[in-house]
Structure 1
């Protein structure tokens, strides 16, 4: 593994993970026990995950940047025996915490032989958004991960000489796609040290500098990368998380693959190589050992070419949801090909193409994808309704941007809640990708002619207010240019000098987009500038100081 200046050999990985596994066994971790990994993207995170598996347990990945309330919810729901974290983060958890620094220096004997593990034993738990207002844990067995690793190694010809990127958050199931196939192939894992680079060209430079040969990126990042010059090392780019709507340019020096798969199907269920010719890229064919069914509302096969709900069966199907037997029974059902196994109802719509393979055709329910993460709007709505001053709430995905927007009805029409305050309060409880970019306070929610909430009307962009440059108050040309770009990126009508980018709906991906457009206008700016100066006039002052002639 390589992470900045830190390098771990396979011998180092074996020694450290075995030592930590010995400590875990001494703490009582055994077969089937869950251990929460509350570590940033780092070699220690990989060591800890492997140690949990060696001890016979299963790991639960969380994002340490999530709010304490979110972390507490996952720890409590999982019933984890232990939390592995940095010593500095120990106080954030009510459960028993094992500081990773102390554990790796412990004199407890290394574990050389752990309990016997079967393919059906649990490997990890990933929490995804839940419609009832609480996240739900998906139970993924070793069999699914082993099938994923074997397919990855065979399909992309990954060998010890390859360099594989590790960019995903540990709370995202793509982390397993990046880590385990790489280690199984004996390749080198290159971990990104901190948050994503501030622009797509900076990401391209990182890939080139690291000599990465195989890389997974979420759809938004991958599409941006297609327009960049990447060094000659990259030979395979994998993407997934959202619908891929464009094809690569001709002459791309690496191969592009579109991956599809809910968390409940061990990360990837189908895949397709995507070339420059043709229409919307397909999601392709199932992995070896997996099956795809297109069924109607009565769960009967639809005619070839017709749209049906996509069900996935085979090796990669998860065991179900932790502590959710009723929901498990609803989404996991007997597989018609193998009645002793189960298939998973994805809630996605697809159709079979004339040449074979599958084309994605949308969702059959309210679930949406935001920045590659699956989100149940109901969870965000529940969180909003739990805030003071909110009687009703509806959350939808914007038609124009990869973000959520919300509308709320106040409990007291004479005492309207502050939209910025609502977003700030949500950010204390939800991951950043689940916090709506904008919250609108309405007297009543719009309804259709059938009396149902008109979610489509809420998702459509509103008529913009006066253009940003006409709203007044800007003191420099840099402020005016940034205000104009700010409105374009955030899909808002106007901004003020004292507005905060992130409180106005910005996120890390939109920061990259804003920085890219600013550079096209001649300003010297990277996305990291927004994390340091997120108020418009402060950002403008910083950019002006760095940009000659402004």
Structure 2
């Protein structure tokens, strides 16, 4: 078996050159086409300075060019740094700066999203194909990719994963998915999420095809949805797909990951789809995608476990004194083995805190996951929660401390807290300065905060709702009492309902009504999408539908700037070409002046 990700793909391309490798709305690539395009691009990247130990950023939209780019970077011996073009510019700039990336690969469509500083190679420009690809020595210990995760210090941290860990993961996938149909593996995860590695390479290294889509919620819109036989999905997204009756018809294998899985959803997946295998997969980024994968039986009962640790994975359930816990007793999960990451990029102290010596294996390290689990009597792991304030939302790992650091960094905020409730991220703030003195209205303050965060954080880390408090609840010891944070108040109405009136408002109401199952004429143009029952998954679909309807690119961050139909319609009808942030800032300043003249009370009660 090959000892690197790209060599495993190349071997497969030689075996089946004419087989389809990638399906996407932008077209289909065979193995030979994908192999040749990535080989030619690798030559150019080497000429531009790529090579062993050199991180190369990939800022490419979700087209076949994305897979060409990943394979090309790996073939040079470099490691790839995924840079989602939809991420805020500040976030992308930090990742490039922190990782020391000096070369970024992009396309004309994503060029504007590239951070300033590094040299840029644009796909589509002339690529010289020389006499042949020069062999680049790559060993299993070389870094294959760097993925940035949310950080408890308020800064994201890059996890460096090596080829050897990836190859070990793929070998385990061979064992788990033996007999499964890999002819159409869905690739709907952002490349900034490590499940994307399994989605792409479990297919390409074994002769299957990747069905590339924007996200899982866009799967029903894909022209190749009927090619999907193997679906990787987080539970919350699966519920949405089932609710919409939008699961591809040929799906036979469903792999859940990224969130706790409940038996109720397993039963529903078996009952409402053609799937004959449903798996529960678990693993932190630091352990290379998955540490355990459990086939959940169709006729079982009780909540699914995480399964037994994968072969080669060392799993320990330890107490606070690093002593093993007996079966049935909760403790923190520590993992070790060939998939363990090198550590965090430029974070020696954090690396030393999380990657600690394994007391049971001389000279080996183990990773403190922060997950609370217990071994069952038959050696499987049962999830029991978190030992810290890390949460999962749509499969993305979020450190609440990072969200709180960004909230408190807003000039209008004195203190803040964040929690996840009903699959929504809720922010709690104690206003500061002018906000407490009544210059801002609640609506203007919420818009100011969410617009600022949308410019700094990925959309899954922007609170859906901001709750204003006079003070944060504290436990007797003086620490924040998260359990005492109140439920978000029901949306208040400042007056009679305002029905959609302009053509743009009417068109938006039709889209909202379709997504929220509401009568369009009954939607108040001043009601926020989240207040009407929307969530982050529906927000992604809303951006897609608006882009199609208005022939204008609408991003999820734009929907944080304009949260109701009235403001959205004003932005869409604005012919000035102003950026959402500029339009929002001008309207907020005007709103603040009006509020001050009216003498509105400070938003300290909610």
CA contact (8 A) 2:511 2:542 kept: no
Give the distance between the partners of 1:167 and 1:483, measured in 2 at CA: 26
Aligned-residue offset at 1:371: 1.6
Cross-structure match for 2:11: none
Write out aligned runs for 1:49-60 (5 A): 49-60=70-81
Distance 1:182 1:416, change over 3 A: farther
Counterpart residue number, 2:64: 43
Aligned to 1:370: 393
How many angstroms apart in 1 are the aligned matches of 2:466 and 2:146?
32
Distance 1:345 1:353 in 2: 20
Instruction: Give the drift of 1:70.
Output: 0.8
Matched-pair contact (CA < 8 Å) for 2:180–2:253:
no
Residues 378-527 of structure 1 mapped to structure 2, 5 A cutoff:
378-398=401-421, 400-412=422-434, 413-414=436-437, 418-458=445-485, 460-464=486-490, 472-475=496-499, 496-501=524-529, 507-511=535-539
Pairing 1:18-37 to 2, within 5 Å after superposition: 18-37=39-58
Match 2:87 to one of 66, 72, 78: 66
2:293 corresponds in structure 1 to 271
Deviates more, 1:13-22 or 1:384-393: 384-393
Q: Distance in 2 between matches of 1:331 and 1:22?
A: 38
1:497 positional shift: 2.2
Aligned to 1:329: 352
Cα 1:182–1:426, aligned 2, differ >3 Å: closer, same or farther? Answer: same
The 2-side partners of 1:408 and 1:487 are apart by 35
- Specify the SS of the correspondent of 2:123: helix
Does the 8 A contact of 1:69 with 1:429 survive in 2?
yes
Q: Match for 2:236 among 210, 220, 226?
A: 220
Counterpart position of 1:360 = 383
Q: 2:270 matched to 1:248? A: no
Q: For residues 65 and 9 of structure 1, do their structure 2 counterparts lie closer, same or farther at Cα, with a shift above 3 Å needed?
A: same
- Where does 1:89-238 land on structure 2 (aligned, <5 Å)? 89-91=110-112, 92-102=114-124, 105-109=126-130, 112-157=133-178, 162-192=183-213, 194-197=214-217, 203=219, 206=222, 209-225=225-241, 228=245, 230=247, 233-238=250-255
Give the stretch that moved more between structures: 279-288 or 359-368. 279-288
Q: Which has the larger displacement, 367-376 or 335-344? A: 335-344
Q: What residue is the counterpart of 1:286 in the other structure?
A: 309
Q: How many residues align?
A: 516
- Distance in 2 (CA, whole Å) between partners of 1:186 and 1:483 is 43
Normalised TM-score (structure 1): 0.85
1:520 corresponds in structure 2 to: none
Change (3 A) 1:367 1:507: same
- How many angstroms does 1:498 deviate by? 2.3
Q: 1:514 to 1:31 in 2, by over 3 A?
A: closer
> What's 1:521 paired with?
none
Q: Secondary structure at the match of 1:403?
A: strand
TM-score (norm 2): 0.77
Q: What secondary structure, in the 3-state scheme, does the structure 1 residue paired with 2:205 have?
A: helix
Q: What RMSD over aligned residues (CA atoms) do the two structures have, in Å? A: 3.4
Please identify, of 217-226 and 300-309, the stretch whose mean Cα deviation from structure 2 is larger. Answer: 217-226
Aligned residue for 2:364? 341
Residue segments in structure 1 that go unaligned for 5+ positions in a row: 489-493, 516-524, 541-550
Superposed displacement of residue 537, structure 1:
6.7
Q: What is the Cα deviation at residue 481 of structure 1? A: 13
Classify 1:205/1:274 alpha carbon distance in 2 versus 1 (closer, same or farther; 3 Å). farther
- Whole-angstrom distance in 2 between the partners of 1:140 and 1:304: 31
